[in-house]
Amino acid sequence: MLLLPFSHLDGRPCIKVVRIVIIAFLFTRYQPYNIIRIDIRLIKDCPLSQVAFMSVMDIIKSIMPINTEKPVNNSKYETPDIIIKGGTLLTMVDGEAPIENASVHIKGDRVLDIRPAGISPSDEGTEIINADKCIVMPGLVNGHCHTAMTIFRGYADDLSLNEWLYKRIFPAEAAHATPENVYWGALLGCLEMIASGTTSLIDGYFYEDESFRAVHESGMRAILGQGVIDFPAPGVTDPKENLRIGKEFIEKHLHFSGLITPGLFCHSPVTCSDKTLARAMEISMEYSVPMQTHLSETRKEVDKIINRTGKRPALHLNDLGLLNKNLIAAHSVHLDDEEITLLSRKGVKVVHSPESNMKLSSGVARVTDMIDAGIKPGIGTDGCASNNNLDLFKEMDTAAKLGKVFTSDPSNLKAGTVLRMATIWGAGVMGLGDQTGTIERGKKADIIVVDTRSPNMTPLYNPVSSLVYSASGSDVKDVVVNGRILMKDRMFLTLDCKEITARVRAIGREIK
Ligand SMILES: [Zn+2]
């Protein structure tokens, strides 16, 4: 009935349009994206005016439950393994608005399709994650952490970085960072990250074999760097062996898991010699794996390097051949303009850790200046001994607010930018921006569902703003990594929460 006026708009009945729109009605439920392309192609030949053409499009769009501008998938429909059904979908694809009442279909490790929320008969038998009144978004990427350091959570607070590190943490690690404690600490870190919506992490620590074992059991995606430092360290009593042990770690794990990339984590340019740093990068390049380091975390560290080399740290690292796309520079707090330009030009990845920098009074990284220079920084919690949690929702909130205080500009570091840092830019830091970090057909299914029914998420005007400024990790309801559900309705499916927390409580009693 609605079609008749449009078929007469140019004064002549147009049977072709009537036929097309009836077909649209019949097929919309099953092929909502495809029908638009069919209609555009057929209507082009019809003797209707432009106005009539647009009106027909409007009718078709009005019967579409969701955005019809999505790309077309003409492939034969496959039965998904998992459907995340309903809610508000935030794909984090640049320029793409939130999509209401969508379904994300997952097959194997990837996103198969994004469709209207209704489940067709062929979808029966698939695992359903109900996302009604929730936000569906890419999983968060923790760009810098020392997962196993959960065992030192709250052990040494309110101290300068120097006092904290040399007088408290290094001695505690020497006494208590055993392989077993690292394993249980890393499991607890994974548990905490999954519970707060993190699906990928970049970690560096000692006894990294144990962290590898824990992360592998958790099902998370990761880059794991074996700790390298020119002092005796846990598992590396003779510093001369640090790179040999690091290289063995890479060789052992390089092809073990599609989810975990091994690498090296050189503690810092003041705790590693120039020779160690340069050789570590050579090894990283040889195996095409990332190398991490803490860069210019404090002024004291910068001064030490200037006094020794006459150059600022980033320029010194450039002389050593370290600045390239393999390098992940954590913190990068004290950089001058020349260093920011250099890091950008060389493709170095940078990770911002505002809460750790605040807690240790290290300073504030020039995040907006880095972004203006073309760097896309990730965001990381750092270890639990300097934060003292691994909740990236808290970290995003802090990053956005600190950016405003630092520049006296409330429009600086907007919620959308910070959310990009924690998702697609974080994936870019991992070198996986084409694989994860957004929800798109064909990309890895690393997805979280955030419940918006909690008091702190009510009311909800803007999902991006609510996620950054109002949400907490405990609002995360479901977590999927690589197409596997790690948490459903806040129940852990890969890790035993009760056992892990009991074990780390016991370790805490030993350390105390
Ligand atoms: Zn760190």
Nearest to 132 by CA among 461, 443, 462, 489: 489
CA of 383 from ligand 1 middle (Å) equals 6
CA of 182 from ligand 1 middle (Å) equals 16
pLDDT surpasses 90 at 347: yes
- Percent of the chain scoring above 90 in pLDDT: 80
pLDDT surpasses 50 at 463: yes
CA of 181 from ligand 1 middle (Å) equals 19
Specify whether the CB–CB gap between 129 and 445 falls below 8 A: no
Residue type, 383: G
Q: How far apart are alpha carbons 381 and 143 in whole angstroms?
A: 8
For ligand 1, an ion, list residues with CB under 5 A: 382
CA of 34 from ligand 1 middle (Å) equals 48
Specify whether the CB–CB gap between 182 and 207 falls below 8 A: yes
Query: What's the Cα-to-Cα distance from 53 to each of 10, 11, 245, 496, rounded to whole Å?
Result: 11, 14, 68, 59
Specify whether the CB–CB gap between 96 and 130 falls below 8 A: no
CA of 267 from ligand 1 middle (Å) equals 8
Question: In whole angstroms, what separates CA 311 from the centre of its chain?
Answer: 34
Q: How far apart are alpha carbons 509 and 342 in whole angstroms?
A: 47
Give the pLDDT of residue 63: 40
CA of 110 from ligand 1 middle (Å) equals 31
Give the pLDDT of residue 32: 36
Spatial CB neighbours of 246, under 8 Å, sequence gap ≥ 6: 226, 228, 264, 280, 283
CA of 491 from ligand 1 middle (Å) equals 29
Query: Phi and psi of 50, rounded to 5°?
Result: -60, -40
Give the pLDDT of residue 118: 74
Specify whether the CB–CB gap between 203 and 227 falls below 8 A: no
Segment 239-263 mean pLDDT: 97
Global pTM value: 0.85
pLDDT surpasses 70 at 257: yes
CA of 449 from ligand 1 middle (Å) equals 28
CA of 347 from ligand 1 middle (Å) equals 21
Give the pLDDT of residue 76: 62
pLDDT surpasses 50 at 15: no
pLDDT surpasses 50 at 200: yes
Question: In whole angstroms, what separates CA 182 from the centre of its chain?
Answer: 23
Give the pLDDT of residue 119: 66
For residue 79, name the pLDDT band (cuts at 50, 70, 90): confident
Question: In whole angstroms, what separates CA 397 from the centre of its chain?
Answer: 15
CA of 219 from ligand 1 middle (Å) equals 23
Tell me the pLDDT of the chain averaged across its residues: 88
Give the pLDDT of residue 123: 64
Segment 209-227 mean pLDDT: 98
CA of 469 from ligand 1 middle (Å) equals 24
Burial of 296 (0-12, 13-18, 19+ CB in 10 A): buried
pLDDT digits (tens, 9 = 90+) for 105-141: 999 999 999 998 876 656 677 999 999 999 999 999 9
For residue 78, name the pLDDT band (cuts at 50, 70, 90): confident
pLDDT surpasses 60 at 40: no
Better-scored residue on pLDDT, 481 or 79: 481
CA of 330 from ligand 1 middle (Å) equals 7
CA of 292 from ligand 1 middle (Å) equals 10
Tokens encoding 71: 């790309």
Tokens encoding 307: 């006094």
Q: How far apart are alpha carbons 223 and 204 in whole angstroms?
A: 8
Give the pLDDT of residue 90: 98
Give the pLDDT of residue 51: 37
- Percent of the chain scoring above 70 in pLDDT: 84
CA of 48 from ligand 1 middle (Å) equals 65
Count of beta carbons in the 10 Å neighbourhood of residue 348 = 24
CA of 505 from ligand 1 middle (Å) equals 23
